[in-house]
Amino acid sequence: MKASEWIVDRAATPDGMTASTRIAAVHGRVVAIDHSAPSSSAVRLRGTLLPGFVDLQVNGAGGRSCDEATADALDTVARAVWAGGAVAFLPTLITAPWERLLQQVAAVATWIRGWNGQGAEPLGLHLEGPFLQASGAHDASCFLDPTPARVDQLLAAAGGTLRLVTLAHARSGAAAATARLCAAGVTVALGHCDKVDGFAACVDAGARAVTHLFNVMGPLHHRDVGTAGFALDDERVQCPLIVDGVHVHPAMVRNAFRVLGPARTILVSDAVAAAGMPDGDYQLSGITVKSHDGVVRDAQGRLAGSALTMALAARNFLRFVPMAGPWTLGCAAARNPAALVRADAYGALAVGKRTAFTLLGDDGSITAVH
């Protein structure tokens, strides 16, 4: 029997913050959270223990990209995600020619099933494209409608590993595709769409999130609220944010949080290969992107993912949103993303959950621990 024990200054449990907390585990699962005296072998953690961060949108990290779809590249990404403060993630593939994309999906799915246990755990695939309408940095020439045949091809290629699909609600067949994907156990997010057509129908069909609130959604106006306005207004919809201070202005992060609160805010990195790396040129789905001062752009100057780690996103969130504290951070970076994709082993410091945590140090550091 492999037993583990920790004693931490503070812990963010589902019921609130507790002090001088002991956590015991057996075979990688929590069996007790209490205030009992720790054994002499307990590991002392200084700071606030949070449920392990879960990043739902990782295109790459550590100098490698998920679309390389090789074990070496994906192993590197998983280690970099862990080094960046998250314990689990969704490797994310973006728009590419359909047959190539299906090959990438199948290859990443094989890696997920055979994950070697190193770095952050891949919970499944996030497919962001090609069922999109507004490009951002995506190749619009590869956009497609989500026909039943294509959805079935995608599900077959993923072999049960598909967790999240981003699609544009204005594309033909979007609501039917949403229902089809949800019936297969896949979470659907709406995004990369600068029209509001079909938004309500897709949410009624089961869509439960948007992909990177405010970005590639068209304008937000008091008479023409746009996709972002409808997403904020619909309490069924979770709203991930890229909190790097560039994708979304800090004032808008605060405004969004005032509407969403701890229940509907999610932090995502939208990281590309530049995450955790120095400034320079990196690859994203076959194009060169440049990271400068932590901001990633393509050759046309458009934002092309980010160089964020979840640790940096969390520090930014706490700085941008003064009314949020560690417990709220645990909701936005762990509880809500885990619940959205039904990753039941994660999302809370609770009995039965995985022993993969994120520690907020008293010095502001954020690290993944197990």
Active site residues: 270
Task: Judge whether 233 and 199 are in contact, CB under 8 Å.
Answer: no
CA 264, CA 242: separation in Å to the nearest integer? Answer: 14
3-state SS class at 358: strand
Q: Does the N-terminal peptide bond of residue 130 adopt cis geometry, omega within 30 degrees of 0?
A: yes
23, HSE (Cβ side, Cα atoms, 13 Å): 32
Q: Where are the beta strands (DSSP E) in 194-292?
A: 209-210, 239-242, 265-268, 280-284, 287-292
Radius of gyration, CA atoms only, the chain: 20
3-state SS class at 95: coil
Q: For residue 14, give Cα distances in angstroms to 36, 335, 348.
A: 19, 9, 6
Per-residue exposure over 317-340, b if at least 16 CB sit within 10 Å of its own CB, e if not: bbebbeebebbbbbbbbbbbbbbb
Other CB atoms within 10 Å distance of the CB of residue 79: 17
Q: Give the H/E segment covering residue 64.
A: strand 64-65
Q: Among 67, 121, 58, which residue's Cα sits nearest to residue 91?
A: 58
